[in-house]
Amino acid sequence: MKKILIIYFLPVMILLTVSSCKKSFIDDTTNNNLPNSVSASLLLTGVLTNMVDLPDGAYSSSTQSSMVYPNASNKDEIWGQYYIYNYDYYGNNTYDFDPGADYYSTLTNVLAMESKAAASGGAAVNPYEAMGKFFRAYFFSKMSLERGDIPMTQALQGLANLTPAYDTQKAVMLQSLAWLESANADLTQLIANPSVGGTGLGSTLGGDIFYGNSLTQWQKVVNTFRIRLLIELSKQAADPDLNVPAQFASIIGNPTKYPLMQSATDNLQYTFISTINTNYYPQYPDIFGQSGSRQNMSQTYVGLLDLLQDPRVFAVAEPSRYQVDTLHQSPTAFSSFAGADPGLDLGTMYSNAGLQRYSFINRKRYYSTYTGEPSIQIGYPELMFNIAEGINRGWASGNAETYYIAGIQASMASYSIPLTGTYTAYFYHPAASSTTGVADLTNYDTYNISVNWSTYYSQINVQYASGAVGLKQILQQKYIALFRHSGLEAYFNYRRTGVPNFSTGPGTDNGQRIATRFLYPLSDRTGNTVNYQKALASQYGGNDDINGIMWILK
């Protein structure tokens, strides 16, 4: 009997032991000090961080290495011909376009964000759902602007569809504009009556690093971005399906329904933090010695500022020491500012840079602190120029000059340049015996620059002239305002309009051409081969060519 009891209980003991071990394993692999699920607000923070394009080749605020090119945002300033390399160890000025930015993982997080919001009390219309529509429009349109046709309708399905078909660029743009229209309508409801969003955490926006969860501010961003996208479509303005002029006029003509940014305080911008080393401005005192002279200003940008006798040159650049110290020109003369031709061979440029023949970026503004300036992603000055351009093109009634002037003045104000008065310029010029660094203000020469808006605006190259001349003026001023901001927008605008004139030569490579598109990712070539080849055949003659002309440019 005793033996029988032992046999009977043995399986039970084994089961208990196994069960106990299994429970122990789960307990041991679960960290109760960390969250076991991610909230919609936390996902939103991650998505917002991923949409940021930073200056100086940084693809995150903690990454300073300009030798790493993980995505298209990494050489924005080079490809915009603002600020270029003179030493090939650190980088080059070639139009060697790579696969560009890939936001599909980020878009997967957008889906997860929406799902979490719905599961935590969000109604059919809720803040995360409205933001999700904006993110879809932002990320899909950006990838399409870089490459052309892309997977969209069948994308983001995971294992259910590993080989999504490509949507045409036209379809991507149509859908993006529709998402933005819907996002604006949803935000209007939510702002007027927050209870529409449901109950619980999913009904209230959280995790917003830009506007402190203000839906009113985000609605301005949605419509300001839509104006940008309509301007990107200028070459297809006659397409009856897009109906670009009517959409533009509708937004401009109804500010109550479509609120837009009203001032620079509405800018969508990334602000740097001096107390957190992963949130430093990409250029800061600690790295000045290794990178401060490895790049210099581009003639494309500085030459335009010189031509327009533009006081912003004193804020963004420093005079060539060769012009000042050797040729004894005034450091406040516009002719003392000299950029390098981006098409120059790097060997020649490096030699000239060593002789101080070029202007370097203004060290006081960009290197002397850990915060630099906020990095604008979508901003008020650009909006003013975009509205001016649309009116100039006849898409809506209005005074293009009014918006043009507002854009210039907002850009100048961002550098603390007064309309009339004095601007203090700082030029790095330490004594030979100085042992202190770029943060020491005693190492700077200072100059009081007289500024007069009326004098500046009365110049023939500045005062708005309407027609084709006026359009060129708008585009030139927008280019100036986009320095260090908004990622690839300056390049996109050049590609679309040819303004300003970009330089080419041995230094730009690519057969001395400005590339017109980015490559498709390697994963498309190897994992979605059939659809990838169909997309190339329908757009670029079967070649994944960085000089191919996408639909939006035809």
Task: Report which of 414, 390, 400 is spatially closest to residue 481, judged by C-alpha positions.
Answer: 414
Return the residue matching tokens 């959409």: 247
Task: Report which of 503, 529, 525 is spatially closest to residue 514, judged by C-alpha positions.
Answer: 503
pTM exceeds 0.85 for this model: yes
Phi and psi at 2, nearest 5°, equal: -60, -40
How far apart (Å, rounded) are the C-alpha atoms in residues 194 and 235?
Answer: 40
DSSP conformation letters of 274-335: TT-GGGS-SS-GGGHHHHTTSEEEBHHHHHHHHHTT-THHHHHB---HIIIIIS---TTSGG
Per the CB < 8 A criterion, the answer to whether 320 and 329 are in contact is no
How far apart (Å, rounded) are the C-alpha atoms in residues 141 and 169?
Answer: 8
Q: Would you give the DSSP letter of residue 433?
A: T
Q: Which whole-number Å values give the CA distances from 47 to 8, 41, 115, 207, in the listed order? A: 58, 10, 14, 10
How far apart (Å, rounded) are the C-alpha atoms in residues 511 and 95?
Answer: 10
Task: Report which of 399, 407, 401 is spatially closest to residue 383, judged by C-alpha positions.
Answer: 407
CB atoms inside a 10 Å sphere around CB 516: 17
Phi and psi at 378, nearest 5°, equal: -135, 120
- List b or e across 171-195, with b for residues whose CB sees 16 or more CB atoms inside 10 angstroms: bbbbbbbebbbbbbebbbebbeeee
- Through-space distance between the first and last CA atoms of the chain, rounded to whole angstroms: 93
How far apart (Å, rounded) are the C-alpha atoms in residues 181 and 140?
Answer: 15
> What does the angle CA 204 – CA 206 – CA 209 come to, to the nearest 5 degrees?
145
Per the CB < 8 A criterion, the answer to whether 262 and 380 are in contact is yes
How big is the chain by its Cα radius of gyration, in Å?
Answer: 27
Specify whether the backbone of 430 is left (phi greater than 0), alpha (psi in -120 to 50) or beta: beta
Sequential pLDDT tens for the chain (554 residues):
333 333 333 444 444 444 444 455 555 556 666 556 789 999 999 999 999 999 986 654 333 333 232 333 468 999 999 999 999 888 899 999 988 889 999 999 999 999 999 999 999 999 999 999 999 999 999 999 999 999 999 999 999 999 999 999 999 999 999 999 999 999 999 999 999 999 999 999 999 999 999 999 999 999 999 999 999 999 999 999 999 999 999 999 999 999 999 999 999 999 999 998 888 999 999 999 878 889 999 999 999 999 999 999 999 999 999 999 999 999 999 999 999 999 999 999 999 999 999 999 999 999 999 999 999 999 999 999 999 999 999 999 999 999 999 999 999 999 999 999 999 999 999 998 888 999 999 999 999 999 999 999 999 999 999 999 999 999 999 999 999 999 999 999 999 999 999 999 999 999 999 999 999 999 999 999 999 999 999 999 999 999 999 999 99
Per the CB < 8 A criterion, the answer to whether 114 and 129 are in contact is yes
